[in-house]
Structure 1
Amino acid sequence: MPARRDPGPSVKDPELYESLRDQGSSKEKAARIANAAAARGRSSVGRSGARSRDYEEWTVEDLRRRAAEIGIEGRSRMRKGELIDALRHH
């Protein structure tokens, strides 16, 4: 079993953070979810999703704009499927 990573003082729910990192989430995504869960409660964080359309319904321009917001490199050369994959696994 790998040693525990210290997420630092900015992460409010280290146990959830570690679980998300073990599942493959990025550091940023794991910290964002862990902090939201600590602030609003774990059950309410799960309910707050699914308000946006599926990425498949987005235009390529919308996908590129979202990729730029979160800092995905190489987005201007990506096709729609590659953008969707990059956004889902960031």
Structure 2
Amino acid sequence: MPRGRGSNSLKDPDLYEDLRKDGASKEKAARISNAAARDGRKSVGRRGGKAGDYDDWTVDRLRSRAKELGLTGYSGKRKSELISMLRNH
């Protein structure tokens, strides 16, 4: 569990651990748990579903998105692997 990086510390460690047990990445779990602590879990749950479906994107667009997010190792991946990488970062 990430600790003590100034304002990047966890605000809801219990939710973070639950998300990690469910398979979320460290970054994703921290982002969700901090948002839930800040805005309330009910509010965070209503936010999803606005990004569109990665299955409709081209491979070039998926690679561009991976680059925007600072991910590495995406250049040799197939479309399904890129989608999985983006969903689970």
**TM category, shorter:** 0.7 to 0.9
The aligned residue for residue 3 of structure 2 is 8
Partner AA of 1:72 in structure 2: L
The aligned residue for residue 68 of structure 2 is 69
Between the aligned partners of 2:31 and 2:68, the Cα distance in structure 1 is 15
Offset, 1:89? 2.2
The aligned residue for residue 25 of structure 1 is 24
Offset, 1:72? 2.6
Q: Is the 8 A contact 2:28 2:88 kept in 1?
A: no
Partner AA of 1:8 in structure 2: R
Structure 1 length-normalised TM: 0.84
Q: Which deviations, in whole Å up to 9, do the C-alpha atoms of 1:56-88 show, x marking residues without a partner? A: 011212211121123332211112111011112
Between the aligned partners of 1:58 and 1:39, the Cα distance in structure 2 is 32
With 72-81 and 35-44 compared, the bigger mean Cα shift is at 72-81
The aligned residue for residue 82 of structure 2 is 83
5+ long unaligned stretches in structure 2? none
The aligned residue for residue 60 of structure 1 is 59
Partner AA of 1:29 in structure 2: K
Between the aligned partners of 1:17 and 1:33, the Cα distance in structure 2 is 8
Number of residue pairs matched by the alignment: 85
